Amino acid sequence: MHTSEDVCAECRAMRPFFSSARSTCMYEGALKELIHKFKYNNRRMLSGTFAGIMLDFIKENPDAVEGIDIITFVPLRRNRALARGFNQSKLLASLIGKSLGIPVTECLEKTRLTKNQNELSRENRLVNLKGAFRIRPDIEEAVVRGAGILIIDDVMTTGATLNEMSRVLIDRSAGKVRCLTLARGI
């Protein structure tokens, strides 16, 4: 059971669509530097270490995946994925899903170009992603309907990305949506 102290002030103000959003670490110091190298310097080899940290968290907090039927991740627009060479969230989700025996499905796609969230203020982050995601056309509604879905991402700051994705999934009749990130920004 969660008390109001378990919910951050931003989530209380935002009234999120996800039922929970948890992070394994704070986005600071050496971890912040490593995540930046992972994403922007093609250090895919860090994915195993990062997924291991997330799996250790899940082992200590099994309720984080209780009732989860599908794992999904934050999609990248094609041009961003090509420029980066990979989707860091997809890589983490794949490793976690394989370890837990939970299928990983790319449920959503990005519908339009958006500015990088890390370049925007909190207020602008919340509006930047409005209407930026939709269920992929090749995903049957039955896949999402009633399903417990876990969204994986590397970093959560305001929660705007995870909240917008959760809204789309809930609007398409997902059972419950939880979020798990490697790090939480401040």
Summary mean pLDDT of the chain: 88
From 47-56, 100-109, 118-127, 168-177, the region with the lowest mean pLDDT = 118-127
The string of pLDDT tens digits covering residues 67-91 is: 999 999 999 888 777 788 899 999 9
pLDDT score for 83: 80
The token pair at 165 is 């994705």
Least confident stretch, 6-20, 36-50, 75-89, 157-171: 6-20
Identify the pLDDT of residue 3.
41
Amino acid letter, residue 183: A
> What is the model's pLDDT at position 175?
94
Give pLDDT tens digits for 114-172: 666 666 666 666 666 788 899 999 998 889 999 999 999 999 988 889 999 999 999 99
pLDDT of 2 above 60: no
Whole-angstrom Cα distance, residue 108 to residue 147? 14
Residue with tokens 């995601």: 133
- With 90 as the cut, is the pLDDT of residue 6 above it? no
What pLDDT is attached to residue 89?
96
Q: Which residues contact 70 (CB under 8 A, 6 or more apart)?
A: 102, 103, 104, 105, 107, 143, 144, 147, 148, 149, 150
Q: Are strands 148-156 and 176-184 parallel, antiparallel or unpaired?
A: parallel
Residue 92: closest CA among 47, 126, 150, 137: 47
Residue 67's pLDDT is: 96
End-to-end CA distance of the chain: 25
The whole-model pTM stands at 0.88
Contacts of the segment 123-130: beta carbons below 8 A, 24+ positions apart:
125/157, 125/158, 125/160, 126/14, 126/158, 126/160, 128/160, 129/160, 129/161, 129/164, 130/164
Better-scored residue on pLDDT, 81 or 53: 53
pLDDT, average across residues 7-24: 77
Phi, psi of 161 (to 5 degrees): -65, -50
Task: Fold for 14-184, please state it.
Answer: Rossmann fold (3.40.50)
Residue 5 has pLDDT above 80, yes or no: no
C-alpha torsion sign, points 51, 53, 56, 57: negative
